[in-house]
Amino acid sequence: MRFCTSVHCMDGRVQLPLIGYLTARFGVDYVDVVTEAGPNGILGHRHDPALIESILHRIRLSIERHNSVGIAVAGHFDCLGNPVSPREHAADTLAAVKYLQQRFPQLPVIGLWVNQRGELVEVSEQLIGMLPE
């Protein structure tokens, strides 16, 4: 069995699209899910050390116990935990990706954006400029 790790919002609208995308993207059987309200903002801004440590602990469990092969962090439309524009979500997601790459350099880390139709796109600097403010 192969696993990857996803850090995304607790919002039920994004669960299935993310799991479907990540099983294909990382070629895994299962996705360990770490949920918080607006985790891309939490990890991107790093204002709450206790919450960050909680997220990191759960990621470490996935890596150490399930031998996770990759990490994804996602933002999504209409997020109650990180109520910012799509462009700000993408910037927060990239900041979270960079932070997780520093913490877990042995694994690939990707950022994702989920739109209102449940479609996913990988976040990049180029994408930020194309999203509405």
Q: Could you tell me the residue ranges of all domains in the chain?
A: 3-130
Tokens of 56: 């990191």
Q: What is the mean pLDDT of residues 39-45?
A: 97
pLDDT band for 23, please (50, 70, 90 cuts): very high
Largest Cα–Cα separation, the chain: 41
Residues in Cβ contact with 122 at an 8 Å cutoff, skipping those fewer than 6 apart: 110, 111, 112
The pLDDT assigned to 125 comes to 73
Instruction: Provide the CATH topology of domain 3-130.
Output: Beta-carbonic Anhydrase; Chain A (3.40.1050)
Q: What is the DSSP letter of 78?
A: T
pLDDT in tens, 43-93: 999 999 999 999 999 999 999 999 999 999 999 999 999 999 988 989 999
Task: Report how far residue 90's alpha carbon sits from residue 117's, in angstroms, rounded to the nearest whole number.
Answer: 17
Task: Report how far residue 126's alpha carbon sits from residue 9's, in angstroms, rounded to the nearest whole number.
Answer: 23
This prediction has a pTM of 0.94
Task: Report how far residue 109's alpha carbon sits from residue 97's, in angstroms, rounded to the nearest whole number.
Answer: 6
